[in-house]
Structure formats: structure tokens, C-alpha cells
Structure 1
Amino acid sequence: MTTESVPADGDPRRLLSEARGLARRVRVDQRVTWSALLVLAVVTFVGIPFDWLFLVERCGADGTCQFSRQGVLYYWPVALLLAYAVIAFCYVRVARTRGLGARVLPYALTGAALTILFTATWIAARLYLPSHPRTTPFPDWVLVLDRLISPWGTIGVALLVLARLERHLGLLLFTIGYLAVVLVPLAPDVTWGAPRPIVLPQQLISGTVLLLGAAGFALADRRRR
């Protein structure tokens, strides 16, 4: 006894093509990319006053100054964990209204894991550096690594996971551009004012890039529908 997997008059290649097309439409309908970028942009902008408030300056007798971002500990871990929870909620809610499932959980879990990892790394560096002072600047690769494990750097790494889950070439290209902006700053990390820093230019740029990305993907989604 044998069974037919396709109708006798059916074209297997055509059926396979239609199945692939349907799967692609489902993946596209599952995307709420703009909401993820919008939430991350809001978190980045809200973090600026916290980072400004908890920015500690230490100046030596030789006139050189160092600064430490205490906001990385007091604001960012909680803010990012809440952000990934909100993003997951938005994806699930939109998917249900469209009668689809959501594949956002691996992204949210990756973002949460990276948040915990960068917090632990920052605490370790905070404990190590005061007892091991340096008289020479850090090499460039250390500065790049420092930016990568910063909150705005880990945001980009997690977005790579979301791009893979959604098979979203546009998001992948955007994330690569975003990481380039983070790793090769267009502005100094801190603009100094008296008696405290007055603004954090690079963080402002990162938030603006995320906000523009959210607007662009929202516009593309509206046009597609």
C-alpha cells in the first residue's frame, strides 16, 4: 500500500514554493521591530540624566581626571531587564491579535543574560581598577571592548539575535550600523562643564539612532500593510 503526499495533478515544486512563501509571510507578520527599537531608544534617553547624576569624577594632583559611570549599576540593569520584558509583551500581544505565534522569547532571554553579564563585568572592573592604577592609557582594543560591553553596546549584540530570529536583513544591516556608531564614537563620551559634565554626547547619538530606526521600520511596516 502506498499513499500520495500530493494530489496527482499537483506540482510538488509549486506546493513547496507556496509553503515557503506562506512561511515568509508569517515571519514578516510576526515582526514588530519598530516597537523593540522604540523601547530601547526610550530607555537610552531616560538613562542620560541618571548617568549624568551618578557620574563620578576623580582628579589627581597632576591635573588629569578620570570619570566613572555609576549609573551603569544603579539604572541600566533594572531598566534593560524591564525593557526586554516590555518588548516581549508587545511582540506576544501583536502576534495574538494577528492570530500568530511569537518567537521573541530567545531574544528577551539573550538580552537579559547579556545585561547580567555586562553588570558582572562592570562590577569586576570597578573592584580591580582602583587597586591596579595605570600610568598609561588603555590600548584601543580595550576601549572597543569596553564600549561593546556597555549598556548601549549590549543592546546592539542582542539586536543581532533578534535579526537572526526574524531573518530580517534590514534589521541586521541597521544593527551593524548601530554597532559601528557605538564602537567608533562620533563624539567624546563626556562633554565637561563646570562643575559637572553637562551632557553625554555619544549616548545621545546612540539613542537618536535607535529612535530613527524605530521610525523607519514603523513606516516600512505601515506601507507594507
Structure 2
Amino acid sequence: MSAPTESTSPIPSRREGPIVLRRGLAKGSTSDERLLDTRANGEFTHTDPWRVMRIQSEFVEGFGALANVGPAVSVFGSARTKPGSYHYQVGVEVGRRLAEAKLAVITGGGPGSMEAANRGAIEGGGLSIGLGIELPFEQGMNEYVDLGVNFRYFFARKTMFVKYAQGFIVLPGGLGTLDELFEAMVLVQTRKVTSFPIVLIGAEFWGPLLEWIRTTMVAEGLVSVEDLDIIQVADTAEEAVELVLAEVPRR
């Protein structure tokens, strides 16, 4: 199956929950931005009860959609990874190997490394899941997602990544990937979740970050050296999946 081509449409477009807005309607802020904007006048407080109901509905819909997916692994990585690149191919192999091991694959549902892992899950005959997020620009759910859920709020979406995964595999990525990685590490460190494997792929990419944690954060007493045991590093998709399979129950 060939990789999807990127859209060249100049039409402004963004997603607001399950709704797609284009052209003039695409202008405006996201739900997260409106919720967190403290510069607005006091009128926004009158709409908070409705926001709470909307947030509640996201949890209810997410729990309902994912409750029966079975053992799964969340795969994180950059939306900017190009199809055909080395990291994209690694993502495809990760998804395929997880699916062949009878594990569902959960990603953020977008392009790049997320698309790669979803694509691999399809090629491996497994369940491919995407948890999308409303952004100021149109991103859309990639075509390799079998079960997709769109979220307005990051915190609701990230809860689903953790609640329904028995492990994480993290490909090279940017700020969003780091956010997801460190949140998973904190949840394990503070025992808010049962310990599960967190595997980083790419010693060359992740090495400088881990070295900084050791030489700066650990040295300053801000992090315990044992906290680094929360994560493991692999250089290949095969090794990463083997590390996860050693700790994750399967069907």
C-alpha cells in the first residue's frame, strides 16, 4: 500500500472536535486556548459548566470506544516525520511487529511517525487506533486508523493514551513527544499507574537528553538515578518490541 500524499489544498481548515471548519469559519481559537485564556473578561466563567459537561463527554466517549480493545501499546513520535524516511520505516516496522504479537497499536492518529505505526498495524493484521486532537491547523486522522476518536482537550486525550496502553514505544519527536514521554515517566515514578515499559528508539537521538538528565538533574539532586530505570533504549524496532513484549500481557 502506497503512502498517502500530502494535501496541497490552500483552503484554510481546522477541526473543532468532530466538526471540520473551512475558509472563513476556520478562523478562531481552539477549545484548549479558550479554556486556559485568563486574559478574557469575567463572562467566560458563565460558560464553564458547559465546558465541564463537554470535558465529561470526551472521557465518556473515549472510555466507551476503547474499553474492549484488549492489550495495546501506545506509540509516540513526530508528526513531521516524512513518509519513506528512516524513522518512518522504523515506525511501520514497530506497528507491524506489535500487531503480529496480537497487540493493538494506539497513536495520536496524525501524520508522520503516528501514520507509520498505524500503517504497520494494518500491515500486521492488527487493530489500528488513532486519538486525534483539535489544533489551530487542519491535521486530520491518517487513513490507516481503524478506530479513531477526536478530542478537544489534550488532558482527556492523554488519559486515554495511558489508561488503555500496557506500554509505550517512543520514536524521535518534538515537544509533543517529549510531553507524552515525561508524563508517562512521572506517572510511573509517582506510582499513579502500574509500572509498564517505556522504550525509546534511537540511542543517538535520545542519548544527549539522557546524558543531560544524568549529569545535571541527577547531579543537582533533582532526579534520582533510579528514575532513569523507568525507561529503556533500543536502536531497532525489533529490539524495542521485544523489550515491550517481555513485560506486556497478550491475548
Higher normalized strand content (fraction of residues): 2
TM-score normalised to structure 2 length: 0.24
Higher normalized helix content (fraction of residues): 1
RCO higher in structure (CA 8 A, sep ≥6): 1
